[in-house]
Amino acid sequence: MTPLLAVRGLTKRFGAGCGECLDRTGALRETNRCPRCGAILACREVSFDLYPGEVLGIVGESGSGKSTVVRLLHFDLEPTAGEYRLAVADAAAGGGGRNLFALSPFQRRRIRNEHMGIVYQNPRLGLRLKVSAGGNIAERLLMAGWRHVGRIRERASELLRQTEVPLARMDEPPRNFSGGMQQRVQIAKALSTRPAVLLLDEVTTGLDVSVQAKVLDLLRSLQRELGIATLVVSHDLGVIRLLTSRTIVMRHGEIIEQGLSDQILEDPQHPYTQLLVNSVL
Amino acid sequence: MSPDILLRVEDLAKRFVCHMQGGKEILGFEGVSFRLPAGAALALTGPSGAGKSSVLKCIYRSYLPGRGSIRYRTADGGDIDLARASETEVLRIRSREMGYVTQFLHALPRVPAVDVVAEPLTAAGTPPAEARMRAQALLERLGIDRALWDAYPATFSGGEKQRVNFARAVIRPPRLLLLDEPTASLDPRAMEVVVAVLSEMKARGTTMVAVFHEGSPLASLMDDGCALPAKEPQR
Ligand SMILES: Nc1ncnc2c1ncn2[C@@H]1O[C@H](COP(=O)(O)OP(=O)(O)OP(=O)(O)O)[C@@H](O)[C@H]1O
Ligand SMILES: [Mg+2]
Ligand SMILES: [Zn+2]
């Protein structure tokens, strides 16, 4: 099977760097901060594939670089190094398996609008909280080239129904909504353009446990229905167990272990993964 | 591997390195070898702690095998070493041709029993209404009270959970079925049904590796055995 998304050597350094940064940071050095120059290696030489229809987890403590990877893939950040290929975007990228990071900002924006959906931990990043729920979705559809107002409104209400947001609240701004409902609107927005890849960054972190459960159930049923290839970033092994079939473990910006999710949970190899698994309440 | 062999385990071993205990090594099992013709059933026996469950988990790849190989003949005639296969390959084989009844149920939370059982069918493309009907029929046959069909298995008794677990694993008969004490908490009547279901599956060609306690009626289905020795006490 050919991967839908392939990442090779993805590296993001914050700071000028000194030429020794890579040697002085990482899981073995137990830091992501270069002691010589102070630069942060938020992620380093990260490589993985995402296959059609699969749900891949990235787990690790805060600061391990999980979210940086997601932001890079969504073009929210510029990478320091690395290659990024997306099978469905190949034509738009000019064909020949072009590295998406080498494209112009305009081309990248287009690929993002057409092929990617993202849900952030903080709804403020994914939504305009003062614009109505329906308006948030409409905006996203407009960016992806939808023009027919009636159809946009129809699609927005279909999505809100799918994500179990009461239709009566379609014209209300998400500012008025509970945390769980804000996440549902974000999910609806992310799904609106039928993306090839869905990026979920700590989508249930910070919600009440019962609200978390409902959002996770929703994601699971959407997964079954739509089968969108999804990257799930979480520090919560429960989320990983529930949603993913394969998992990558990151520490200090580096991938330290990867495997089938049940194997990572039942037979973790790396000392840090064992610590994570044994720390579950 | 000769074409009539479905599974061939050779010199398989598993060690656990517990880093939280200063890198202490625990032996799961070692030196396990057997070969299993298509359609046959093999009993894994041995004293408690001998590593029976661990062997099954290595075959399913919930555990990463250490030394040795697990050659498996796929439905399309391929010959694959499950000990080394890529995760994606293992997932594909799990979803299409391998079933595993665990010693304990890790039910998906907040999913009604009937849907837990129907899911492997819907995942394979059976229309939901038909899948649910077949799941209900199987739960009925296994003697699960109708009132429980739409309840969450998390609150079920041990024997009820075990039957739901069993139903989920066999509703879409796999080519290779791994069974870890599937009747441990069942009453004689339920046990009889489980044995009947398994023997029908066997007649239709499912190959099995099973762990069960002495005196279990599952013994009557077995063609062969592999005895794991008791382990030397470890320092
Ligand atoms: N994830 C693990 N980490 C560390 N040690 C483990 C792990 N899983 C199993 N073991 C050890 O490996 C050995 C074999 O265990 P296993 O559960 O396979 O035995 P079993 O033969 O199925 O026993 P029983 O008959 O009691 O079910 C035991 O010493 C067990 O404590
Ligand atoms: Mg056991
Ligand atoms: Zn440096």
Name the residue range of residue B161's domain: 5-17+24-227
Question: Can you tell me the mean pLDDT for B211-233?
Answer: 90
Domain residue ranges of chain A, discontinuous segments joined by +: 5-278
Residue B44's domain is classified under what CATH number?
A: 3.40.50.300
Q: Is B232 among the domain residues?
A: no
Residue B234 has pLDDT above 90, yes or no: no
Q: Count H helices, E strands: chain A?
A: 11, 9
- Kindly provide the ipTM of the predicted complex, given to two decimals: 0.93
Residue A126 has pLDDT above 60, yes or no: yes
Interface contact A242-B108, CB threshold 8 A? yes
| Whole-prediction pTM | 0.91
Q: Which of A113-117, B103-107, B171-175 has the lowest mean pLDDT?
A: B103-107
Question: Can you tell me the mean pLDDT for B131-142?
Answer: 97
Confidence band (pLDDT; 50, 70, 90) for A206? confident
Q: Which of A213, A224, A263 sits opposite B63 (nearest CB)?
A: A263
Ligand 1 touching residue B51 (CB < 6 A): yes
Ligand 1 touching residue B49 (CB < 6 A): yes
Residue A119 has pLDDT above 60, yes or no: yes
Q: Is B64 among the domain residues?
A: yes
What pLDDT shows up at residue B213? 87
Domain count, chain B: 1
Residues of B in contact with A263 (CB under 8 A): 61-64
Question: Can you tell me the mean pLDDT for A215-223?
Answer: 91
Q: How far is the CA of A63 from the centre of ligand 2 (A)?
A: 38
B51 touches B14 (CB < 8 A): yes
Q: Is B36 among the domain residues?
A: yes
What pLDDT shows up at residue B235? 54
Residue A277 has pLDDT above 90, yes or no: yes
C-alpha closest to that of A241 among A275, A189, A206, A276: A276
Non-local CB neighbours of A21 within 8 Å, separated by 6+ positions: A13, A34, A36, A37, A39, A41
Please, where are the H alpha helices in chain B? 52-60, 87-97, 113-123, 128-141, 158-170, 188-203
Element containing residue A58 per DSSP (H, E): strand A55-59
Question: Can you tell me the mean pLDDT for B18-29?
Answer: 94
Q: Is B235 among the domain residues?
A: no
What pLDDT shows up at residue B102? 83
CA dihedral sign of residues A222, A226, A232, A238: positive
Residue B90 has pLDDT above 90, yes or no: yes
A218 class by beta-carbon count within 10 Å (0-12 exposed, 13-18 middle, 19+ buried) = middle
CATH topology of domain A5-278: Rossmann fold (3.40.50)
Q: What are phi and psi of B74, to 5 degrees?
A: -75, 165
Q: Whose CA is nearest to atom 23 of ligand 1?
A: B49
Question: Can you tell me the mean pLDDT for A89-116?
Answer: 85
pLDDT single digits (tens) B26-36: 999 999 999 99
